[in-house]
Amino acid sequence: MANHPAQPTPQPIGDALRQKRIEVLGKGLREMAAILDITPAHLTDVEKGRRTPSEALLTRISEQYQVDAATLHSGWKKLDEGAKRIITKTPTTAEKAPALLRAAEELSSDQWDALISRAKQLAKESRGKKK
């Protein structure tokens, strides 16, 4: 068995946001909380990982911190509302979507793009058959 160097543990999303707020954006806790329309205590809880933001707050954080929403969803292990709606739309999607995601778990970004392209092609073919 080959020895592989240990992967560095990724920085928790709250810590990364706090660091960005202070070092890049130059904003204090109270100032950023006011911009996000939450209390300073709420922002502290988000940054320390004691609270997961609502979808609306996650969107505001994404905009203010200039971090893409996908990174935030991943950091908080939170499925975006659109994906949740699609996955639970029918019994078939509720059954098949998790299986697809498990099968695709280790794909590269390019492989994901190819899979998405193929899924779009299949959906188009399916719509054509229904006409």
Q: What is the CATH number of the domain that holds 42?
A: 1.10.260.40
Are the beta carbons of 20 and 65 closer than 8 angstroms?
yes
Of 3-12, 26-35, 36-45, 50-59, the least confident: 3-12
pLDDT digits (tens, 9 = 90+) for 3-23: 444 555 567 899 999 999 999
Residue where a domain terminates, one of 60, 78, 96: 78
Give me 123's structure tokens. Answer: 């959906």
Whether residues 73 and 108 share a domain: the answer is: no
Residue 42 has pLDDT above 80, yes or no: yes
Domain total for the chain? 2
Residue of 72, 74, 83, 91 whose CA lies nearest to 116: 83
Whether residues 71 and 88 share a domain: the answer is: no
Whether residues 69 and 91 share a domain: the answer is: no
Whether residues 59 and 99 share a domain: the answer is: no
Are the beta carbons of 74 and 81 closer than 8 angstroms?
no
pLDDT digits (tens, 9 = 90+) for 74-129: 888 888 888 888 899 999 999 999 899 999 999 999 999 999 999 999 989 888 87
- Identify the burial level of 87 via C-beta atoms within 10 angstroms of its C-beta, where 0-12 means exposed, 13-18 middle and 19 or more buried: middle
Are the beta carbons of 14 and 52 closer than 8 angstroms?
no
User: Is 7 contained in some domain?
Assistant: no
Whether residues 73 and 19 share a domain: the answer is: yes
User: Is 41 contained in some domain?
Assistant: yes
User: Is 64 contained in some domain?
Assistant: yes
Q: Which domain, by its residues, includes 126? A: 82-130
Q: What is the pTM of this model?
A: 0.68
